[in-house]
Amino acid sequence: MRDRIHEQYVEKLKEIGEKLGFDTQGVSTNLGRLDCIWRLKDIELPHVKENIPVVAFEVICSEGQKELKGSVSTLISAKPSLAVFVLIRDEIKKHPRGNTSPAEWLKRIENFVKKLEEDYAGILRIVDRHEDDVDKLYSRIIENKDFDCKAE
């Protein structure tokens, strides 16, 4: 179930990025894989051989603090302008560690992501969002047939 929910949100982020005109192909970095990256495409700049990473996403369902720290290293190696942790609250609550209640575990993960945002300020701009933020954006951009960011 976790993989299905995780993949559902990864696919939504890819669809949104593509609709907005980003390249969403390729998620590998020197240190690992990310869930989704939005890159500027078709930019011709001297000495630039690849599409420029604008936003990198990590969808969080069952990860603990150690995994989140590893995700930060992978995000740094991708060199995006913005790193986004998408916290899937119901899934996080299903995977508490130790004797922590589901609600306490969610709060602990949310607080830890805030701490990462502070600790890595100046190195990597990190923000956190939740599944409903992705759902609203998906609804607005993908399901609204009148919305088109690209000029015809």
d(CA 27, CA 55): 11
Domain count, the chain: 1
Does residue 99 sit within a domain?
Answer: yes
Count of other CB atoms within 10 angstroms of residue 59? 24
Q: What are phi and psi of 115, to 5 degrees?
A: -65, -40
Domain that includes residue 49, residue range = 2-141
Q: What are phi and psi of 49, to 5 degrees?
A: -105, -5
pLDDT tens figures, 90-141:
999 999 998 999 999 999 999 999 999 999 999 999 999 999 999 999 999 9
Mean pLDDT of the 46-68 span: 86
Count of other CB atoms within 10 angstroms of residue 90? 11
pLDDT at 146 over 70: no
d(CA 50, CA 7): 26
Q: Burial code of 128-140, b = ≥16 C-beta within 10 A, e = fewer?
A: bebbeebeeebee
Does residue 43 sit within a domain?
Answer: yes
Does residue 148 sit within a domain?
Answer: no
Q: Lowest mean pLDDT: which of 25-29, 128-132, 142-146?
A: 142-146
Does residue 27 sit within a domain?
Answer: yes
- Read off the pLDDT band of 152 (50, 70, 90): very low
Instruction: Please give the model's pTM, rounded to 2 decimal places.
Output: 0.87
Does residue 150 sit within a domain?
Answer: no
- 86 versus 49: the higher-pLDDT residue is 86
Does residue 152 sit within a domain?
Answer: no
pLDDT tens figures, 64-102:
999 999 999 999 999 999 999 999 999 999 999 989 999
Q: What is the DSSP string of 22-87?
A: -B----EETTEE-SEEEEE-S---TT--SPEEEEEEEEESS--HHHHHHHHHHHHHH--SEEEEEE
What's residue 48's pLDDT?
A: 61
pLDDT at 1 over 50: no
Does residue 80 sit within a domain?
Answer: yes
What's residue 151's pLDDT?
A: 44
- 76 versus 43: the higher-pLDDT residue is 76
- 10 Å CB burial of residue 110 (0-12, 13-18, 19+) is middle
Does residue 146 sit within a domain?
Answer: no
pLDDT at 32 over 90: no
